[in-house]
Structures are given as C-alpha cells and as structure tokens.
Structure 1
C-alpha cells in the first residue's frame, strides 16, 4: 500500500520507530515487496533500478578527448574540462554509469608498464601527456556516483591510414611491444590495401596472455567498476581476404581440425580467462561485453534469432550466446542498432525478445546498445527520421523484465539531440534517477541504516546530514553511496514506497568523513518534506530503512 500521510508529527515518529525495528538488515533487501506475499504496484516509467550509460569513445577522438585539445594552451585543463562536460550531460540525463574507452588500439590512457601512451591523448603515439587520465576519469566519475566501466579493445593494434599504411609497424610508438614481437600481429586486409590495420593474432597463446596482462594492470591499479569489451575480436570480413593464420593454426590448433571452431575457441578462452582473472583480483569488478546484435540466424541454428543478417558466431568468431550460458560475463550489451519495423535482416522488435530469452535463468544481465548516432540522419533511412524511434525502443524494452538498461552510442550523438530525440527518451524514460541493478554473484554484506542527524533549510535548498555507524566493521558491509528519498508532507513510508523511483531524488557518493552531507537544490521553500536515507554498498545492494527526517 502507499504511504499514509499523518497530520500529527508525533504519531509519525511513533510509527517510524515500529518500521525501523522491523526493517530487515540484509544489504540485499528486496526493493519490491513488504513480505513474501505482498507485491508492490510500480510505475514502469520510473524503475528504481536500471543501468543507464553512454559510450564515451576515444578512438580517432570520436567523443573524448577532442582533437582541439591537443593544441590548447593548457592541454590538460582543456581535456579535464571536456570530460567534466560529459559527466554533466550524464547527470542531466539521470544516467548512473559511463563506459569510457581507455585502451582503444593496444595503447593506454594510464602509465602502463607494458603498452605505450595512446596517441588520442596528444596526437603523438607514445607521448606522455604529463598526467594520469584514468585516475582522473575514475575519481571524477565516482564524485558524481557514476559507475566507471573501462572500455578496452583486446586485439586491435592500429587504425586505417591513407594508402593502407595502417599496417605499417614502423609507424607504431617506439616502445610498442609489436616492434619487439612483429610475429604477434597480422595485417587485415593485407598491408597496402585500403582499410588495412594491425591486429594481435588471437590464436597465439602468448598474445592472449599478454593482452590480458595489459588490461589487468588497469583493474589492479585503479578503482574501476567494470571492464567492458565491444564487438572487435577477429576482424570483420573485408571482401574475399582471408585471415593470415595458417601457420598459427598449424602450431597452436590444440587438436582442432575445423579452423572456424578453433578461432571461436580462441575468443572463448579470452573471455573465460579474463573474467576469471578480474574476479580473482577484485571480485566486485564487473565484466561485460557489447557484441554485434545477432548471434546466429534461426536458418543456421534452431537456437538463433528470427533474422537474416550477419552472424557474430561466424563472421568474427564470437560465440556470444555461449558466454551468457556459461556465465563467463556479468552483463551483455548487444548492439541492436536497427529500427522497429518490417526489416527482415534485423528487426529490433524481434531481437530484444531473443536476447531476453538468452539471458533468462542466468546471472548475466541484459542491457541494450542504442544507436543514437542514427537518429535524425537521413542516410540511415526514413525510420530514423522519426523523433520517437529511440524512445519507442525503450518502451518496447519494458515488456521484457530481463532488459535492465541501455547504453547509448555515443556521447557526441547523445548531446547532438537531433530531432529532439534525446530530450524525448529522457523525458519519457529517464525522468527520475535510478540505481544500478544489483548482481547476486557479487560480494555483499549486511548494511546498517544511516542516521540523519540534521536537515536545515538554506538559501540553495535543504541540507541533509547523516552518520553511517560502524561502516565496514564487524559483520557489516561498507556503505559506498547513499540513496535519498523525499516525500511531500509528513510520511510514514512502507516498503512499497521504495519499490520504484517515484520518491528517489538522488544517489550520492560517500566520503571518508564521519558525517555525510547533501543539499537538495530542487526542494521548494514552502513545502514540508519527509526524507529517508538508505545505504548502498559497492554493488548497489541497499540497506534497511532508518528513521525519517521531517523538514517543515
């Protein structure tokens, strides 16, 4: 049932005492039920938990940092300001995560001991930018209580260059590992052909070990929340050119006689081993992949989708369905960059239910990759000239409870807001904040409830202060952040009042201070409010409800 609004503040306090005493202490307390027999009615437009993010791409300076920053009088300050601008946009849209590309071409956005500095920081391959971008990216994202997912490309070494020069090893940074191990890479398409670039050879065991070591350095040294791969494994086919891996297959086939099965197993090993290494180092760090949107067509495999497009299983050796069923990853973000409609190759409305069925019964969460870059661009057809298309995608997702969020490609396209499409889907689907979905496979311990010690009106809003007792001590977990709920009037809230985001006004990152503080700048000067603050651990499990605070 919904909250009972009480005219007498004294009665409210008495009832709140009863609620607090009965509140469960589990950090993984259910959000949507008062007991095992009561189900809450929630508003699907304001889900309490939904992963919301945008990709921030660094390769060829798509999103961040911009090429303009290379020549700025204060390059570092310019790049920092640009990134803070993207975080401003994420907050404006009520996102709760960012997916930032920090290893675009076998290089690094941090001082890696094994790989060169990325050229996309300075315009020069291997040049030290004079600061640690990854440390800044993580710290500033966490200040906004945004999860930081480090987007890395395992095998891509270079991008195309004029005249096919993208495959020229001599153009790599002087300290690039490929200069010492040219046998670790192949050019595809062949060197000198337009579009040619270098890739680490997935079939060489030392290569697989090396790229994992390079990426794990960031996991071990930085406070990231997730490792994120996109859809680049074996290269996408180009014309009739074949991968030059005859010698590799002969040397390292592991008993496989079918080349295609062997290639898929190479990528399977990468995914399985990387996931295990992440969890061994930091069990709370998530591992996710954003693959091409079609695994296989039903015409090729009875388990496939009702589509006729390219198949990641065959064209890039990515057996994405297996990764889900084996639970080698924590989440998957299929790139469903197609419209809703009679598009036989790949209809969005056919693929969403297929992916929902694929993750059903597993611990792998499903988020959908959204093609913001197509919205309002006539080159992609008339369907994408409909301002409602992206919002319609998110509406369709509501029919499938397995769909727990969206990631938008990419930041510059989200900001472009062509046709007003960003404004539309933000208003219809992201009007309230949302917490990141919990994952039962990640570690958690019970949390204690925070005690609100003060609530005062001031010129810029209402300042709340609260204390988190025994944080991380004894049998209790550590509160990493806090969910703040606001009700109009004097309210004794029950569990169903916390079941969706109708009353969620913010989630804020905790600090090392004994007393936490936050200002509600959206509060009205003449409205009486009741506030509740609940603790969240690193994996977004929510603790019990503590005493309310009424502001008159």
Structure 2
C-alpha cells in the first residue's frame, strides 16, 4: 500500500523497470467517455486509508502523548466526514505487531517508538468508537506476513535477533524467512496460516469492527534475481500435490483467504472481508483473459494472489484493486484496467471498490504529466460511476488528502462527494431490512429544526438516513441529492437537529433505518415545517 514510501514498489518497477514515457503521452482511453457533469449516487462506499506503518498517516510520529494521538485521529475523522467519507480503513497490524493488546503480536513501535511498550490506552477501541460516532464504518486493516520494514539502507531489520525476545517471530524462528532487508512469516507453513487467522479472529471476536481488510502484501514483491527462499517448505508441504512451486504458493494464499472469510462469518456474519490487491491480475500478453497492460509484476504471477479465484468462489465480500495510474497511461491505462475489473466482478457476490492514488496528485510519474492535471482524480471518479458494477472508492491516503493537492479535498467536499452516500448493502450476507422507525413532532429551536427518531424495541437498526425535500411534499428518496445526513443510532429515542435550514422556507422530512449490512427500511411518515 505504501508505494510512494517504498522504492521497491515504485511505478518504474511495476510497469517495466526502466521504461520512461514522453511527457506528451497523455492520450485518453476510449473505453468509456468521461461525463462532464458530476452524477451523484445514493449508495457508494467512500473510504480513506490511514496507514500506521512508518507513521505515514497516524500517529504522525511515535511517542506522542495519548491526548495528542487521540486529537490527531479525531481530526482525520472530522476532515474525512466533511469530505463525504462514510468509512475508514485503519492499519492496526502493520508489521506482526498490534494497535491493541494482543496474544499474537507486541504493541506496535509506531505508537511509542519501542515495540512491546504499552501506550497507556487501547487505540483500537478508541478509534472504533470515534468512527462509529460519526457513522463511519471501521475496516480493520491487517498485514498477514510482514514482520519488519526496511529503513533506508540498514540491513539490521533482516536480523531476527534484533526483535524483542517475546516477539512471536523469535518464539517461532522456524516460521521466519528473510527476504531482501525484511523478515516474513512463511506463507507455506500451516502453523503460520493458523497463527495469522487466529490473530485476525482475536479482533473480530473482541471488537465492534465492520470489516476485515487486507491489502496487496501476500508473498512479497519480487527482488530482481533473488528468489524467495521457500524451496524447503515446498518440498515438505506441497511437492506431493503441486508440480510447481508457483501453484503451491497461490494455493497457500487462496487457503488463507478462504479460511479467514469462513471464520469471520461463523463468528459475526455481518462483518465483511475485503482485499485491496495490486491493480493488475495478469497481463494480456501472458494470459488472453488478462488486462491490456504491461505491468512488470502482477498479482497472479509474482505476488501469488489469485484474485479471480477469490471473486469466483465467494472468498471475499469486496475487492478494491489499487489502480494507481492515470487515464491514458500506455502501459497501465486507468480506464482500461477499470473496465477489466468491472467485467471481472460482473454477476458475482462481491463489491468492487477502486483504490485511488491521491498520493500521486501534483507529482510527475515516469515523465508523464497527467498528475499535474487537477481533473485527473475527478475524472477517474466520474468514470467509475459510469459502471453499474462500481460500488465505491478507497483513497490513499489520509495525509495526502489533508494536504489538498490541486484542491482535491475541496473538490470532494464541494462537488463529487457533496451529498452523503449510504454504504451499499450486501444481500448475500443479509437481505432483511429493519422496520421503519417513527418520528416525533418537528419543531424549531433557534436556527435549527429538531425532531425525535424513535426505534422499535427489537429493531436491529444501526443508523438512520434523513431525507429532506423543499416544499410541502416528499419526493423520491432514491434521489441522492435529497439524502441530508446519516446518524448513528445511540439511543432508542434519538434527537436529530438540522442546522442547515433557511429562514422562510418550508421543508419535508422522512427517515429510514438501516442495519449493519446497510439494508434500508421503508420510510417514516413525512413531517413538514416552515422555518420562521
């Protein structure tokens, strides 16, 4: 995920090594026209990744006070909510560590500066509570195999003895593989798979998360001329069943993904499982069913992440490919890759979210100037919405949006995400909507309109959607521009305040209830008021 930070994952490595493109290559793909006007949608996941590894986003640096850490996180949530986001993807296990007390990893060094040092509070519990207060989903982001991260040119992080004595990798040194400057848990060892799954389930069982999320780090990105040293494991665990090591590696990852999903659903059926892979499954030159790309590394052939198998077999609830390239890039055209992924998920029980490369805005990429165009990301988002298979976007990352390069945060807040959106429902998980709530008498209090939302005793509603129409009659609640707000359900009887009204105008309100998987109830009776 942290491609800007890690040289080994730079675009040059991903699209053909030394390939440089002339700055005048800005041709637009013709696969789908880009709308001139913003077409608003009612259901759309809108999320931002918050990366903790190397303190990329949060905390801004290790060793901050509890108060400062909390203030930083709350500021991110408030900024994102103001931009129209309805979910956050928070990295809680970046390097075989934890942002919560865990039996499967030490406290993260990115909190205190010292791996294993208690930060004095439970960051995960705090973050979930704050996200839900703002009616934002919390996707808990795990990295399954990575034990250490490289820091510049130092090689000490490939030395197992540098880890704390109580680290799981020290206790199970036979599970560990050094590769490059990093250490990894060996994906081919069955005990490793169980350890990874148990670590994830510890969070599913004990915390009120909405989804488990993983990104593109399965088997590591390849280092030229350096094979991943798992031949011994292959001969021990896979050679009798698989004729080549590549198929065995893919099967290891498939098994992990399949079993994570099964165990999540057995524990809490409403908790979703999603993965954000590298943007290219396979190149068309290698496989005629692959995308029209020339990526130097791909999911299937290099990372051993067979996304097609996950989609076709229902191992995941959503997939969010990281399409971190511009529209018209010859070797990896955003428009063509988007089109390929929409066809990949068509008719399947999996939602398609797109990983947006906001971090590239206002930067040069391989000599191509497209990222200096303030319309690049807005055009990508508009293009996304022309596909019925598109269900939302995840933006990388929070810090980059905060910087507002070329006004992208303003553009999201004032235009593209101007109106709130509901997270799309997943009927294969649950398709039973809650009962409609009731609303109390509407009244004006100062410059605000206020009314009470009353839910049923046995209701499984998680939050409410409030729709507002100008005039004395309600309109169509499928009109996305009429969705005024979503409100997390805190109490059975809950007050709603609308401070955005104008004096002298008449408004009509209706309310619906939604459950954890975003099934929407019928609407309440309409309530009307003229603002004095």
The two structures have a TM-score, normalised by structure 2, of 0.90
Q: Choose 168-177 or 406-415, whichever is displaced more.
A: 168-177
Pairing 1:152–2:142 present: yes
Cα distance in structure 2, aligned partners of 1:204 and 1:406: 34
Aligned to 2:132: 142
What is the distance in 2 between the residues matched to 1:460 and 1:298?
Answer: 60
CA deviations over 1:213-269 (Å, ceiling 9, x no partner): 011100110000000000000010112111111111111115112011101111111
Q: Give 1:351-430 correspondences, 5 Å limit.
A: 351-379=337-365, 381-430=368-417
- What secondary structure, in the 3-state scheme, does the structure 1 residue paired with 2:393 have? strand
* Cα distance between partner residues in 1 of 2:447 and 2:255: 54
Determine the C-alpha separation between the residues in 2 that align with 1:444 and 1:323.
22
Give the gaps of 5 or more residues in structure 1: 1-42, 190-195, 473-477
Q: Work out the CA distance in 1 between the residues paired with 2:375 and 2:412.
A: 8
Q: In 2, distance between residues paired with 1:324 and 1:379?
A: 31
The residue number in structure 1 matching 2:478 is: 499
Question: Aligned to 1:454, what secondary structure does the other structure show?
Answer: coil
What CA deviation, in whole Å up to 9, does each residue of 1:389-440 have, x standing for no partner? 0000011112211011100000000111111123224433211000000001
Looking at structure 1, the residues matched to 106 and 426 of structure 2 have their Cα atoms a distance apart, in angstroms, of: 35
Give the structure 2 partner of residue 231 of structure 1. 216
Structure 2 match to 1:485: 467
Q: Which residue of 1 aligns with 2:489?
A: 510
Q: Comparing 106-115 with 169-178, which one deviates more in the overlay? A: 169-178
Q: Deviations 1:485-514 (Å, cap 9, x if unpaired)?
A: 011111143xxx111311101000001x33
8 Å Cα contact 2:51-2:58 kept in structure 1:
yes
How far is the alpha carbon of 1:44 from its aligned partner? 6.6
Structure 1 residue 76: Cα displacement: 0.5
Q: Secondary structure at the match of 1:498?
A: coil
Looking at structure 1, the residues matched to 415 and 135 of structure 2 have their Cα atoms a distance apart, in angstroms, of: 23
**More moved, 441-450 vs 80-89:** 441-450
- From 272, 292, 303, the equivalent of 1:306 is 292
Give the one of 488, 493, 500 matched to 1:522: 500
Q: Deviations over 1:311-348 (max 9, x none)?
A: 2101111111111111100000000000001x222100
> Compared with structure 1, are the counterparts of its residues 425 and 466 closer, same or farther at alpha carbon in structure 2 (3 Å cutoff)?
closer
Residue of structure 1 in register with 2:3 after alignment: none
Structure-2 residue corresponding to 1:176: 167
Partner of 2:30: none
Which has the greater radius of gyration? 1
CA contact (8 A) 1:111 1:117 kept: yes
2:319–2:352 Cα contact (<8 Å) kept: yes
Whole-angstrom distance in 2 between the partners of 1:338 and 1:201: 31
1-structure distance, mates of 2:92, 2:67:
18
Instruction: Find the residue that maps to 2:359 and give its secondary structure.
Output: coil
Cα contact 1:115–1:175 (8 A) shared by 2: no
Q: Which has the higher contact order (CA 8 A, sep 6+)?
A: 1
Query: What is aligned with 2:225?
Result: 240
Give the Cα separation in 2 of the matches to 1:526 and 1:169: 70
Q: Residue 204 of structure 1: CA displacement? A: 0.4
Partner-residue secondary structure (3-state), 2:98: coil
How many Å apart are 1:452 and its aligned residue?
Answer: 0.9
- Which of 93, 99, 114 is equivalent to 2:89? 99
Moved more, 393-402 or 430-439: 393-402
Count of matched residue positions in the alignment of Structure 1 and Structure 2: 490
Deviation of the 1:372 alpha carbon: 0.4
Of 166, 175, 180, the residue aligned with 2:157 is: 166
In the alignment, is the contact (CA less than 8 A) between 1:388 and 1:424 conserved in 2? no
Q: Distance in 1 between matches of 2:39 and 2:452?
A: 30
Computed over aligned residues only, the root mean square deviation of the Cα atoms, in angstroms, reads 1.4
CA contact (8 A) 2:474 2:510 kept: no
SS of 2:399 mapped into structure 1:
helix
Equivalent residue number for residue 321 of structure 2: 334
Contact 1:126 1:174 in 2 (8 A): no
Query: Where do 5+ consecutive residues of structure 2 fail to align?
Result: 1-36
Q: Does 1:433 align with 2:439?
A: no
Other-structure match for 2:9: none
Q: d(CA) in 2 for partners of 1:113 and 1:289?
A: 24
Deviating more after overlay: 373-382 vs 358-367: 373-382
Query: Cα offset for 1:110?
Result: 0.7
1:462 lines up with 2:449 in the alignment: yes
**Secondary structure in 1 matching 2:481:** coil
Counterpart in 2 of 1:20?
none
Look up the match of 1:292: 278
Distance 1:50 1:115 in 2: 34
Contact 1:454–1:466 (8 Å) recurs in 2: no
State the distance in 2 between where 1:426 and 1:328 align. Answer: 34
- Structure 1 residue 165: Cα displacement: 1.0
Alpha-carbon separation, structure 1, partners of 2:165 and 2:69: 25
Report deviation, 1:114.
2.4
SS in 2 for 1:303: coil
1:169 deviation in Å? 1.4
Q: How far does residue 460 in structure 1 lie from its aligned partner after superposition?
A: 4.7
* Secondary structure of residue in 1 paired with 2:358: coil
- Give how far 1:163 is off: 2.5
State the distance in 1 between where 2:433 and 2:507 align: 28
TM-score after normalising by structure 1:
0.87
Matches within 5 A, 1:43-82: 45-67=39-61, 70=63, 72=64, 75-82=65-72
Q: Deviations over 1:131-172 (max 9, x none)?
A: 111101111100000000001000000101343111121222
Alignment-derived partner of residue 103 in structure 2 = 113
Structure 2 equivalent of residue 21 of structure 1:
none
